[in-house]
Amino acid sequence: MTLEILTSDALDGVTHGFFTRRGGASSGVFAGLNCGHGSSDQAEIVSINRARVADALGVTPQNLVGVHQIHSATAVTVDGPLPDKPRADALVTRTPGVALSVLTADCQPVLFADTHAGVIGAAHAGWRGARDGIVQSTVDAMERLGAERGRIVAVIGPTISQRAYEVGPEFLEAFLDEDPDNARFFINGDGDRYLFDLPGYGLSRLRAAGVGHAEWTRHCTFSDAQRFYSYRRTTHAKEADYGRLIAAITL
């Protein structure tokens, strides 16, 4: 099966993709394109999957770079392969031939580009990272390489949608303590539960950071098991582990 690669017209001018799980070599609960070495999938199979992604992007497997994601607000600047993955949640570069990648399974993958300056970025933005400033950190790091935030295009890829993201009252309270206006990202669920709009929140953070254009591809990871891995869906199904989707961008 060939790879399925979701792209955005907003990122025309740079090679990029939000890869679905289709077209990979993994099997069982990981069936498809599992690109996460942090999973319990066979390491050699994950490497095969990642090599297919690199080939689709026109880079070497060594130049498909990522970080050790920790739900932080840390962005790093890279210019080549990373033998030791830094603990961070975003990468930026102005080096052609380097593909920046992030792994997700409900969290937001965000790809950034200022094509005029030749600067790109990729961020892993779960609720914690988004709240703590990973988007701002990525934009700041891109500016240090010569980008202008008003020219930056940012696209959120497949992530969990509001209808599938149930949270408790303490989660709501934490967001309201930060900013009462965050109430607009919650609607009532069953009982004392709420439904949280993660991509809506992500878009608000991107716009607050001053990017010139921000959008979401409007794909829900939880709701489409044939195309996407989902941590929350796996948890509900009481499965032992889950695959990781990859999103990547290169000049």
Q: Where are the domains of the chain?
A: 5-161+197-250
Report the half-sphere exposure of 81 (CA within 13 A, side-chain side): 7
Listed range (8-12, 22-26, 115-119, 236-240) with the worst mean pLDDT? 236-240
pTM equals 0.97
| Position 240 pLDDT exceeds 90 | no
Listed range (85-94, 106-115, 163-172, 232-241) with the worst mean pLDDT? 232-241
Superfamily of domain 5-161+197-250: CNF1/YfiH-like putative cysteine hydrolases (3.60.140.10)
| Position 1 pLDDT exceeds 80 | no
pLDDT at 43: 97
| Cα–Cα dist 210/183, whole Å | 22
| Cα–Cα dist 167/196, whole Å | 7
Q: What is the mean pLDDT of residues 144-152?
A: 98
Tell me the per-residue pLDDT of 5-15, one tens digit each, with 9 for 90 and over: 999 999 999 99
- Supply the mean pLDDT for the chain: 97
SS3 172: helix
| Position 49 pLDDT exceeds 90 | yes
pLDDT at 80: 93
| Position 18 pLDDT exceeds 90 | yes
| Cα–Cα dist 249/14, whole Å | 7
pLDDT at 96: 97
Tell me the per-residue pLDDT of 68-106, one tens digit each, with 9 for 90 and over: 999 999 999 999 998 899 999 999 999 999 999 999 999
Q: What is the mean pLDDT of residues 26-45?
A: 96
Tell me the per-residue pLDDT of 184-196, one tens digit each, with 9 for 90 and over: 999 999 999 999 9
Provide the residue type at 242 as one letter. Answer: Y
